[in-house]
Amino acid sequence: MGRPDAHPSTRMGYLAWQVVHVMGTRLERALRSLNLTAAQHNALQHVVWSPGISAAEIARRTGFTPQSMGAAVNALVDRGLLARREHPSSRRTVQLSITDSGAQLAERARGVVERLDEEALAVLAPGERAVVHTLLLRMLAELNPDALPTMDLRGTS
């Protein structure tokens, strides 16, 4: 335990929260121009990466509540960006697929995210970017392995 008067910036959790907060705010603002929320963006991208995925699985992978993800998916279905279909072997599971207009919007949103990442990472040299990326992957693999494709990243160095 640190000194009681230690500034919060001496703690990793505080720094991580600050970065996440700033990046999240910038992302929400940028996605507004596409009429998307962060949850909707995550839903679109996960359906692109994993066709047939359920809203519940997207929620597990992204850390959004099932209720928030359900609302995001409903809005995307209502806009004709996602479609639902019954799972072939489980009546309780609904699979999601992306429509042509949804795929186009997902591609535009990816461009927005890439631009934001570049802006945020501009302060780091290429080698530093690689180190930060590797360390974040390792931490995420430990803290929320559902957020990553199936692979073991805990041993990444």
**DSSP at 72:** H
Report pLDDT for 146: 86
What is the pLDDT at residue 38?
A: 94
Contact at 8 Å (CB) between 154 and 138? yes
pLDDT, averaged per 10 consecutive residues of the chain (157 residues), comes to: 72 90 94 96 96 93 94 98 84 88 97 95 95 92 84 42
Report d(CA 52, CA 40) in Å as an integer. 16
User: Which numeric CATH code is attached to 11-147?
Assistant: 1.10.10.10
Q: Which tokens in the block code for residue 62?
A: 């992204």
> Would you say the C-alpha torsion 153, 59, 23, 2 has a positive or negative sign?
negative
Of 101, 119, 99, 100, residue with least CA distance to 111: 119
Supply the pLDDT for residue 152. Answer: 41
